[in-house]
Amino acid sequence: MTAHALAGALADDGRRRIFAAIVLGAPSTADVAERTGLPARVVLTGVRRLTDAGLVTGVDGAFAVDDASLRAIARDGRPADETDPDPGTDPVLRTFLRGDVLVGLPAQRGRRRALLVHIAERSFESGTRYPERAVNDALKPWCAAGGSDHVTLRRYLIDERLLTREHGIYQRP
């Protein structure tokens, strides 16, 4: 189970109430329905969703919390599809990138510059001229997680002189 699946499973108020009832010892659909005030049909659907997410086990109708899954989430803390940069890389990159996706921009200029250097080197060939549309297309994938937007990245790359702009044409020096 991933942290994303956990959040999705508990995003609904009814499922949170069902999960809480099971945590507090309700072993059956009838007991969960009684403790939560929810109809049995809603409880069954909620239990199925919690089971699919790996939060609850239900052997022979006896519900229990899947402690092993919760411990695994506590240990990992990130969705399984996120890839960590090489552990030997810059700590700034480990903090602000997940794979090739930006999850935030550092406030400190030095850290932000280190991140921007990495993005510029991975996105643009030195000496190649790019129209603005190509620059935007190269920067948009970095912004898929909402950590920033491509316009802000483009502006920072120019401000830090990692890209030059002349008459709408960009180039990495």
pLDDT given at position 77: 52
Question: The domain 91-171: what is its CATH number?
Answer: 1.10.10
Q: Where are the domains positioned within the chain?
A: 3-76, 91-171
pLDDT in tens, the chain (173 residues): 566 667 777 888 999 999 999 999 988 889 999 999 999 999 888 888 888 777 888 765 688 888 877 777 676 654 444 444 454 468 888 888 888 888 888 889 999 999 999 999 999 999 999 999 999 999 999 988 777 889 999 999 999 999 999 999 999 99
Cut 0.75: pTM above it: no
Long-range contact list for 161-167, CB < 8 A, 24+ apart?
162/116, 162/117, 162/120, 163/120, 163/124, 163/135
The answer to whether 48 touches 19, Cβ cutoff 8 Å, is no
- Cα–Cα distance, 21 to 102 (Å, whole number): 39
CA 21 to chain centre: 29
Same fold, 3-76 and 91-171: yes
Beta bridge partners of residue 54, listed in sequence order: none
CATH topology of domain 3-76: Arc Repressor Mutant, subunit A (1.10.10)
